[in-house]
Amino acid sequence: MATTFALELNVTGNGSLKDDLGVWAPTGSFDIGTGVDKIQILLEDGVGDNAAKVLYVSRQTINAGASFALNLFGGTLTDFRGTAINLTALKGVLVVLRAPTSATRFTIGPDGGATPLQAWFNSTAAGQKTTHYHFCLETMPWTAGWPVVAANDCLYIGNPSATAIEVDVVAWGI
């Protein structure tokens, strides 16, 4: 029987759909999140579609103006078993800001850093990053994933906030 990794992301909250510009007349409203308890990603232990062999989980404190290098091939990070990480493909990454406020946020991307991983970005140049105020989840569950090699193995999680932040990082791949 294959081992299954499970990543569960609970989505909660309510909201409504409205039109402040008067382009169309809403006929009602609905709660965003109603009936949606969780988003679940199930991965078999393996190398094919919807499979992973390596799971990295950590909590990082990132000082104001600093960044954390999620080094997926250099062997400087270890998986939850303590084994050095040397991925050949990234299948997914989840970053969660532990205590989001109106003054905190994080960025993620290659951003022109040393040995940058392009992943879902257009290039590895400076400025190639996205800003998030609560969490970021990106997945590529197919066999190939996002290729990782020694020359292109780092995603940078940056802190443009004025105070230190704490993030939980989960990455998986083969």
The pLDDT-based confidence of 9 (bands split at 50, 70, 90) is very low
Sheet of 67-71, strand order:
67-71, 154-158, 106-109, 130-132
CA distances from 53 to 7, 26, 86, 141, 152 (A): 14, 48, 11, 12, 20
How many CB atoms are closer than 10 A to CB 40?
10
The 10s digit of each residue's pLDDT in 105-147 is 999 999 999 999 999 998 999 999 999 998 898 999 888 899 9
CA distances from 63 to 7, 35, 108 (A): 27, 38, 15
The pLDDT-based confidence of 53 (bands split at 50, 70, 90) is confident
β-partners of residue 154 are 71, 116
The pLDDT-based confidence of 79 (bands split at 50, 70, 90) is confident
Specify the CATH number of the domain 46-173.
2.60.120
Q: Half-sphere exposure (CA, 13 Å, Cβ side) for 136?
A: 22
Average pLDDT over residues 42-57: 84
The reported pTM is 0.80
- Cβ partners under 8 Å of residue 117, min gap 6: 72, 90, 110, 124, 146, 148, 152, 153, 154, 155
- Cβ partners under 8 Å of residue 81, min gap 6: none
- What residue spans define the domains of the chain? 46-173
Cβ atoms 43, 20 nearer than 8 A: no
User: What stretches of 29-82 adopt beta strand conformation (E)?
Assistant: 38-45, 51-52, 54-62, 67-71
d(CA 47, CA 85): 15
pLDDT at residue number 6: 52
Q: Among 52-61, 78-87, 111-120, which is the least confidently predicted range?
A: 78-87
| DSSP designation for 26 | -
